[in-house]
Structures are given as structure tokens and as C-alpha cells.
Amino acid sequence: MSQPSFETLLYAVEDGVATITLNRPDKLNAFTARMMKELIEVFDVTDADDAVKVVIVTGAGRAFCAGADLSSGGATFDRTSPQALEREEGKVGDVYRDGGGRVTLRIYDSLKPVIAAVNGPAVGVGATMQLAMDIRLAAEDAKFGFVFARRGITPEACSSWFLPRLVGMQTALEWCYTGRVFPATEAKESGFVRSLHAPDDLLPAARALAREIADNTAPVSVALTRQLLWRMAGADHPMEAHKADSRAIQSRGASGDAKEGVTSFLEKRAPAYPNRVSTDLPDIWPEWEPRQFR
């Protein structure tokens, strides 16, 4: 596929790994309506490209994302102000859909694993956009903050659903009540971050993890696994998982990928999985209805 170009992002694919770089370094990669739209678009690109097996998201310069662009001053979060016109396409009835939520919902639906390489400050939406990503690695000097109450607003980007599932209700409430900015060590201790790295080692570590996935696993199996774990996070009974598991195992067990996975293991060689996410992803969710904003 030809590589797309964006105003607020850099995008590159190498050996099955796509790297998305938030690219407003002079503004600490502050989040704008344009960045929102481009993040949604770039995950459409990664889903459609079978050459992409894993996605890494990082930031240009010294920040991951410093939160919403505050250049509009006190009107930044006012949906009746002129800048809200950029978000008009997300308006449903008299409600403007939260831009961060539109991004996290798109990442939640990703068919490829998503690794965050948090290279610096990640505050506000810079922290919450990571919640639908699968694994977070951070530089030792990175900082995080769910600062919404200190700006007179509330948590967004579906973080009231994601954050307690990642770190527990008590930690989620403390972080959101206080709005304080905290160090990467605290993020790791809470389980929010998987590992800490020297700044120069961060991207190599993220790429090594991506390679472990890309080189050894069947992309269709990984796509289904991602759906199973994320969708079942909100299931009301394990029977829902059993129904989906059963359909997945039945479909995958008869696939060329399963034959190759077993054969390559027995022959002690690297696998060459034949199935593709774009054409061979089975529907194991006959009762699943896409959720609508109403």
C-alpha cells in the first residue's frame, strides 16, 4: 500500500511494524481536532494493510502528548465556541461527541495489537488515548496526569470505562480526583505501564516487543485474541466468552494457519502463516451489535 501523509502525524511501516508518531513537537504534540481525525484515519489504514502486523504509537520531540491544545484559552473546551465547528461532523443531536473518545473507540476496534512508547509527558488526552492501547512502555522520565478536574472539566476518552479496569477503582479515582501529574515509576507500580526504559532504549524495546509478535504469531489469531480480551472485559458472564471461544477455535482449527502453526513447530522452523486479516477474519460474534452514540 502507498504510505499516507498527515499534518499532525508521521507514519512509517517497516518489516510488519507500523509506527505512528504524534508530530507537533513545538506544541508538545498537543491534541487538536485535526489530530483526532488523523488518528482515526491512520487506524483505518493499519487495519486495511496486511503488511502491518503490529502498531507502535509514540511522540516526536520531548513529549508524548501534553493534552488538549489550549491555544484557544478559556474557550478551549466550550463546544459552542468557534473551534467547535471543526468537530461538527461528530455532533449527534445537540451533543458534540468527545474527540478523545472517538479516538479510543477506534483504537478499541483495531485489528492489530497497539503498543504505546511513551517518550515524555502524557497528560489529559495524552494519557487517556493510551487506555485502549494494549501495552504501554515508558521512558524513565515520562510523566502522566489525568488533570481534568484541575481544568474544570471531567475525564474523557472513555477513561471511566478503561482506567479502573487497568489500575483498579481506588487508583483511578485518586488520579482523577487530584489531577496531579505523577512520575513513570508510579505508573509502573500501578500496572498502568508495563516497563520503564532509558530514553534512548524506549523505541528499541517497543520494536523488540513488536517483533516478538510479528515474527511468531498468526495475524488472524492475534486479531481475534484482541477482540476476545477487550470485548469480554465488559461481559456479564463467562458463558459469553465460552460462546465466542468455541466459534473461534472451531474456525481457526480448520484454517491454514493452524496447520502451519503445528507443522512449523514440529519441523522446528519459522512459521509462514497463509491467512490474512483483510480476507480471512471469521465472524465469531453473531449477536454483537455495534454501539451507537445516541
Q: For the chain, where do the domains classified as CATH 3.90.226.10 start and end?
A: 9-214
Whole-number percent of the chain with pLDDT over 70: 94
- Taking domain 9-214, whether its CATH number is 3.90.226.10 is answered by yes
Q: CB neighbours of 28 closer than 8 A, spacing ≥ 6?
A: 61, 62, 63, 65, 66, 120, 121
* Mean pLDDT for the stretch of residues 178-207: 98
Give every CB contact of residue 229 below 8 A, 6+ residues apart in sequence: none
Kindly report, residue by residue over 55-100, the tens digit of the pLDDT.
999 999 999 999 998 776 555 556 565 555 566 778 899 899 999 9
For residue 81, the model assigns a pLDDT of 57
Determine the Cα–Cα distance for residues 112 and 134; give it in Å rounded to an integer. Answer: 10
Q: Which CATH architecture has domain 218-293?
A: Orthogonal Bundle (1.10)
- Provide the grid cell at 76: 478551549
pLDDT at 3 over 90: no
Q: Note the pLDDT of residue 80.
A: 61
Query: pLDDT tens digits for 144-189?
Result: 999 999 999 999 999 999 999 999 999 999 999 999 999 999 999 9
The residue behind cell 513488536 is 210
**Does the pLDDT of residue 218 top 80, yes or no?**
yes
pTM for the full model? 0.94
Q: Taking all residues of the chain, what is their mean pLDDT, rounded to a whole number?
A: 94
Domain limits, CATH 1.10.12, in the chain = 218-293
